[in-house]
Chain A
Amino acid sequence: MTALAAPAPTQTVEHPDVLRRWRAGPLAIAGLVAAFYALGFVVHDYWFNAILIPFLIMALAGLGLNLLTGYAGQASLGTGAFMSVGAFATYNVLLRLPDLPLPVSLVIGGLFGALAGVIFGLPSLRIKGFYLTASTLAAQFFLPWLFNQYGWFSNYTTSGSISAPKLVFLGADLSTPLGRYLLTLTSVVILTWLAWNLVTSQVGRNWMAIRDMDTAAAVAGIPIAFNKLASFAISSFIIAIAGALWAFAYLGTVDARSFDLDRSFTVLFIIIIGGMGSIAGAFIGSAFVILVPILISNVSANLFAGAIDAGQSENLQKILFGALIVYFLIKEPNGLYALLLRARRRLALWPLKS
């Protein structure tokens, strides 16, 4: 109490910290976005269909789940179900209200997703943790069943699958690979910007307070019920739009079964590997989840060409992917984003200190 405290050493923060703003950040991000737009005009169609579009859409889904799980602390295994709500709702809006412009249809699809999120998020008012995953698992099994069971949702197609209607906006045909890429990229940029503003505002801080300890947050006067449901609504809104894009901009034709539990797990992998509670983490994790299987299959195809059959190499991929997940969880439980932050700090000091 007596001696004047020495100036505190600048604390290096180990966790990904959203409150830290890069000074050169806005510029770097703008450059990155511009680069992605420019990329659209130079690469081959294969890149759109196999890499860029799925990467962006899964990153968007990861972003949505990260808002819910990483920021508000509500674990969910219903991501696939909320994606399917977005896909089927958008399909029906495009089909039954063809006069609405495409972005409006997407937003309406997202709103239906938000509604589903709130309904299945209601138990979060009483339970949490693994008990809550049971509620979202109920969504995961019930909603795709619903869309598969009742023909109305798929407009009575015999297979129960839905196909992309013509994607047109302001007279431009978005059905080409480039058009679908630009549609996806623009949606991702807008929603990421919204999410960024959300998590750096009062709402995001409330969510993090609830995540860290909801009893304490309630004592501090944060309305718990409203914030939990809001996190479910907003997260499901983004996930539903990702689902609609997955159906129409990536696959073209889907049925409810393509939004199964594996999809939910993939998105959960994305945020765990990328980094919980960080926006960039969703993108890094998505790059990992989309690129690593492609990389593994290419490498194994070249290395062991003819030596092992396709089924075996698929098993090898599975083993390797699972082992990588475990490895990263052990090496860096805070995700690749934390790894990047650490690398950046090291590089900043590089010649002076290793």
Chain B
Amino acid sequence: MSFFLETLVGGLLAGVMYSLVAIGFVLIYKASGIFNFAQGSMVLFAALAFVTLREAGWGFVPALLVTLVVMVAGAIAIERFVLRALIGQSDLTLFMATLGLSFVIEGLAQLFMGASVHELNLGIDDIPIEVGPILVSQFDLLAAVTAGALVISLSLFFNFTRIGISLRAIADDPLAAQSIGIRLPTLWRIVWGVAGLVALVAGLLWGARQGVQFSLTLVVLKALPVLIIGGFTSIGGAIVGGLLIGASESLAEIYLGDLLGGSVSTWFAYVVALAFLLIRPAGLFGDRAIERV
């Protein structure tokens, strides 16, 4: 029983990581309807930039601030040179543009900062601590707390500030929002900047866990089933979806893996997402789309 619990808790904590990446998606999807494939590259870019600065002898806080500035500058450049030119295009075109963007960001990251694996030490000892009958990784707990803090501050931001309320107006009806004077490009810049911040947090936590390397970009692929379960437009949904995927994936790896011959986790998340699609196509917290002729 305690082994089951440990697997479950371990999976849930891994799910927190998925949620962190998925939040970045939800932000951009809500504001602009774009499924931003470049989010994974942004995670890699942020982590690589931070590690490179740290290895050059920078302190923790200056490195963090400079990386953040770079991410925001990148977001502004993306809005100016890519998104603004693509207003009104189909979803698939925008998706492909972010795919092209991810090539550019990955190429730039590796061109300037190398392709080797970097170790990232955030100064947290990863000593398992005992919680009741089970062992929990201290680092994972900290990641969960960080994610929680991020989600709470984001929800406060989006529910109580003027920018957040404009953002919700845009998500609801872009045309109506623009007609009452909400500036779409400004909001896009802000949202992509915040997504850059989320990417930085996710990159630091993932990078500290498995080393800063190219495989960080693959995290993006796990975010899609998370979004399908949680709904594309809900930050809370991204958290719940991430936890569900993380838990079911690690349980499946333990209990189904032997039966089927291992590495079930490469596809299991998608099968869970498929099952969800058949029962609840809009996800747990998503908006149900209604179509009229």
Contact = CB atoms under 8 A, between A and B. Distances in A.
Interface string A128-154: 011101110110011001000110000
B185 interface: no
Interface residues of A, number: 44
Interface in A85-133: 123, 126-127, 129-131, 133
Given A127-B277, A269-B96, A333-B89, A316 B107 contact: yes
Given A323-B100, A329-B86, A126 B277 contact: yes
B104 interface: yes
Contacts of B278: 123, 126
Contacts of A131: 228, 277, 281
A138 B101 contact: no
Contact of B293 (A141, A215, A269): A215
15 contacts: A134-B228, A141-B267, A215-B291, A215-B292, A268-B96, A269-B96, A272-B92, A315-B110, A319-B107, A322-B100, A322-B104, A325-B96, A329-B93, A329-B97, A333-B89
A329 to B, nearest CB: 5
A196 interface: no
Nearest to B267: A141
- Give the top 6 A-B pairs by smallest Cβ distance, nearest first: A322-B103, A325-B100, A319-B107, A138-B270, A318-B107, A141-B267
Contacts of A142: 267, 270-271
A312 B111 contact: yes
A142 B225 CA distance: 14
Interface string B251-293: 0000000001111001100110110011001000000000111
Interface of A: 69, 75, 123, 126-127, 129-131, 133-135, 137-138, 141-142, 145, 149-150, 213, 215-216, 219, 261, 265, 268-269, 272, 276, 311-312, 315-319, 321-326, 329-330, 333
A145 B266 CA distance: 8
A192 B104 CA distance: 34
Contacts of B224: 130, 133-134, 137
A43 B273 CA distance: 50
Contacts of B85: 330
A315 B110 CA distance: 7
Given A123-B278, A126-B281, A131-B281, A138 B271 contact: yes
B74 to A, nearest CB: 14
Nearest to A330: B85
Q: Identify the interface centre among B99, B225, B260: most chain A CB within 10 Å of its CB.
A: B99
A176 to B, nearest CB: 36
Contacts of B293: 213, 215-216, 219
Given A134-B224, A138-B271, A219-B293, A315 B93 contact: no
Interface secondary structure of B, over-half rule: helix
Contacts of A330: 82, 85-86, 97
B55 interface: no
Interface string B91-133: 1110111011111101110110001000000000000000000
B192 interface: no
Nearest to B271: A138
B134 interface: no
Contact of A138 (B89, B93, B104, B273): B273
Contacts of B273: 134, 138
Contact of A322 (B35, B107, B115, B225): B107
A43 B101 CA distance: 37
A321 B91 contact: no
B235 to A, nearest CB: 18
Given A134-B228, A272-B96, A322 B86 contact: no
A192 to B, nearest CB: 23
B221 interface: yes
Contacts of B263: 145, 149
Given A272-B96, A312-B111, A315-B110, A145 B103 contact: no
Nearest to B228: A134
B188 interface: no
Given A150-B261, A319-B108, 16 more contacts: A123-B277, A126-B278, A130-B91, A135-B274, A137-B270, A138-B273, A141-B270, A261-B221, A276-B92, A318-B104, A318-B107, A322-B100, A325-B97, A329-B86, A330-B82, A330-B97
A265 B178 CA distance: 34
B3 to A, nearest CB: 25
Interface in B57-95: 82, 85-86, 89-93, 95
B97 A137 contact: no
A326 B267 contact: no
Contacts of B90: 333
B35 to A, nearest CB: 5
Nearest to A325: B100
A111 B274 CA distance: 24
B50 interface: no
Interface string B125-162: 00000000000000000000000000000000000000
B266 A325 contact: no
B18 interface: no
A145 B104 contact: no
Contact of B266 (A127, A141, A219, A311): A141
Given A141-B266, A272-B96, A315-B111, A321 B103 contact: yes
B197 to A, nearest CB: 23
A142 B273 CA distance: 13
B45 interface: no
Q: Identify the interface centre among B97, B100, B104, B263: most chain A CB within 10 Å of its CB.
A: B100
Contacts of A311: 115
B208 to A, nearest CB: 25
B232 interface: yes
Contacts of B99: 265, 268-269, 325
